[in-house]
Amino acid sequence: MAETKYVYTFAYHENERELCQLELSTMLKPVSELRSDSGSYVRSERCIPPGRSPFIHGRLDILGERDSVAELLPIAREIRLQQDETFKVVCLKAGDHAPDYAQARKLEKEIGMCIHGTAQMKQPKVTFGLIQTGQKWIFGQWTGSDKSWQVHQRKPQNYSTGFGVTLARALVNIAVPEVEKHRLLDPCCGMGTVVIEALSMGIDTKGNDLNALAVRGARVNLPHFGYDANRITLGDMRDLEGEYDSTIFDMPYNLCSVLPDHEQRAMLMKLRELCKRAVIVSTEWVQEHLLESGWMIEHYITVRKGTFVRHVWVCR
């Protein structure tokens, strides 16, 4: 455990617990159990930008781990910043046995006095973090989440029953834990929420929808955030061609009618031809259709918003 390179802190709303845990376990492949209380943190060997996840507060790149803060001071003394690099030290509001305000300021000052550089509390170029996990104190360089993805909540066009940005972003991370050279398909993309989140992470993504109104809205939303509207196509997903590494498939639903079973199976079988991996979302129970279509289920969770429940299956 002492060789772990990174500690991530995170938080979630209670009804997003399963979603958060599945996202982080898929994306970070943690080497420690996900702590899911007020001091939530997880340790990992994987380095990702904290802003990828809607739940992560930041990443601590570990410089040292000791039994006491006093034993971390020699590590701080080795830090020599450039002349124009200002810094500050923060006790993270996470971990086990987080210190109170007065103790936190005392520990920050002790470590800060050891670092060779100019302290700057408001807008430092470098931030160092301190956290207690179990009986150990960990010191490292801290990178907070920029939360820039939140601007996507203000899309020009929206569906009242469409994915929220948090859900869409988490599903992208579950579908695509490693973004390099990955192709993602959203065959029923609606207003393009999933496509926008994926593109913002640098994932090669295509969206499609049978509803001309939805496609028109998606083609407004993508350019609003600087993305190519031509990534959205109009048509039946069963006519799509190509090969994709994964898909996020929000199965079509209507509050007044139910999609016939044979059409659901046809869509799922088409996905088997197009994609190696799938995150299937449905307001109905379609597990039997998934298995009949040849998909192997790896994970299942629910995401709730009031009385509205979405079923989520991760399949290969």
- Mind listing the pLDDT tens digit for each residue in 39-58? 699 999 999 999 999 999 99
Instruction: For residues 234 and 249, give the distance between their C-alpha atoms in angstroms, rounded to a whole number.
Output: 16
For residues 10-36, average pLDDT: 90
Vertex 42 angle, CA 130 and 175, to 5°: 135
Other C-beta atoms within 10 Å of 113: how many? 12
pLDDT attached to residue 39: 66
What is the per-residue DSSP string for 3-19?
T--EEEEE---GGGHHH
Higher pLDDT, 255 or 13: 13
CB 168 within 8 A of CB 138: no
* pTM (2 d.p.): 0.94
pLDDT attached to residue 37: 66
- Helices 212-224 + 193-200 axis angle, to 10: 30
For residue 117, the 8-state DSSP code is S
What is the per-residue DSSP string for 8-60?
EEE---GGGHHHHHHHHHHHH--SSPPP-STT-EEEES----GGGSSSEEEEE
For residues 193-216, average pLDDT: 97
CB 59 within 8 A of CB 7: yes
Nearest residue to 234 (alpha-carbon basis) of 250, 212, 261: 212
Nearest residue to 255 (alpha-carbon basis) of 156, 166, 159: 159
Instruction: List Cα–Cα distances, 169 to 56, 78, 117, 283, in angstroms.
Output: 12, 39, 38, 19
Which residues pair with residue 310 across a beta bridge?
A: 303
Please give the structure tokens belonging to residue 39. 């001091």
Any idea which residue has 């600087």 for tokens? 226
pLDDT attached to residue 252: 86
CB 210 within 8 A of CB 233: no
- Helices 193-200 + 165-175 axis angle, to 10: 60
Residue 2: pLDDT over 90: no
Size of the chain, expressed as the number of residues it contains? 316
- Mind listing the pLDDT tens digit for each residue in 69-103? 999 999 999 999 999 999 999 999 999 988 999 99
pLDDT band with cut points at 50, 70 and 90 for residue 1: very low
pLDDT attached to residue 3: 65
CB 47 within 8 A of CB 126: no
SS3 of residue 95 by DSSP: coil
pLDDT above 70 coverage of the chain, percent:
96
pLDDT band with cut points at 50, 70 and 90 for residue 260: confident
pLDDT attached to residue 35: 72
Question: Which domains does the chain show, CATH number per domain?
Answer: 6-144 (3.30.2130.30), 148-315 (3.40.50.150)
Q: Report CA torsion sign: 148, 142, 57, 282.
A: positive
- Mind listing the pLDDT tens digit for each residue in 151-179? 999 999 998 778 999 999 999 999 999 99
Instruction: For residues 178 and 172, give the distance between their C-alpha atoms in angstroms, rounded to a whole number.
Output: 10
Instruction: For residues 168 and 189, give the distance between their C-alpha atoms in angstroms, rounded to a whole number.
Output: 11
Other C-beta atoms within 10 Å of 43: how many? 21
Please give the structure tokens belonging to residue 210. 């049978």
Instruction: For residues 298 and 312, give the distance between their C-alpha atoms in angstroms, rounded to a whole number.
Output: 11
Alpha helix locations (H) across 159-260? 165-175, 193-200, 212-224
Residue 253: pLDDT over 80: no
Please give the structure tokens belonging to residue 11. 């938080």
